[in-house]
Amino acid sequence: MQLRSPRSAPSFRVLSTILVFVFAGAIVGETVSLSMVVSIAGSGILSRLYLLNGLLLFLLPPLFFSNIDRVNRGKLLSFLLVFTVALLIVIFAVLKLGGNLGTEVVTGLLWVMYPLSYLSKTVLFLTFWTLAN
């Protein structure tokens, strides 16, 4: 029976910590974005958002898996995490300035926010599990 090298334990801890944060962020982010969209646009929008999410999910994996072997997966995961944080900062700033920007801008942002959160969650999961394997 082959024992793993001691170097695998720290990488397991790092990947486990990243996984916990990605899962927690995905659960909280999707719930918050969905509740914000429903509070502004009403519950009638849900069927259209789920249809859009289905289309995105239909298109994303073939595009993702056809290109994943061409890039460094660790750098891709780091880039996606930084990009997602930057996107959250932009969304937060737009929502804070919402009164000055007008309701159309805030409503438009909320319409885009849920599919974007779903898409970013899916890409982060795909990248993480591709990196972990």
pLDDT in tens, the chain (133 residues): 555 555 565 677 777 787 788 788 778 877 887 887 888 778 888 888 888 888 888 888 888 888 888 888 788 878 888 888 888 888 888 778 766 776 777 777 777 888 888 888 888 788 777 777 7
Instruction: Determine the Cα–Cα distance for residues 126 and 80; give it in Å rounded to an integer.
Output: 11
Domain ranges, residue 81: 16-132
R_g over Cα of the chain: 18
Kindly state whether residue 79 falls inside one of the protein's structural domains. yes
Number of domains comprising the chain = 1
Kindly state whether residue 4 falls inside one of the protein's structural domains. no
Kindly state whether residue 3 falls inside one of the protein's structural domains. no
Kindly state whether residue 109 falls inside one of the protein's structural domains. yes
Kindly state whether residue 90 falls inside one of the protein's structural domains. yes
